[in-house]
Structure 1
Amino acid sequence: MKNLRLKTARASMDLLQQSLAEKVGVSCQTIAAIEKGGYN
């Protein structure tokens, strides 16, 4: 469920995964993993 909330929020703010990753201080791979549901 977190993955869908994150993806929806990111899309509503018109942010790329890379842009969001830079803003929150994680890697782009971390954002992608969360959105795919592979990160707890």
Structure 2
Amino acid sequence: MGRILIYILSGVLVLVLLILLIRRFINTREYNRDKGRLRS
């Protein structure tokens, strides 16, 4: 039972890390796009 719990916790951790990375990637893309718009 403990092993299943560890698997679930590690899976949740990986999901959270992936979501944070994707959100940061989207934010940097939008920031760069706004920077380009301001420059032009």
Provide TM-score, normalisation by structure 1: 0.35
Compare the two structures and name the one with the higher helix fraction. 2
Larger relative contact order (C-alpha < 8 A, sep ≥ 6)?
1
Greater Rg, structure 1 or structure 2?
A: 2
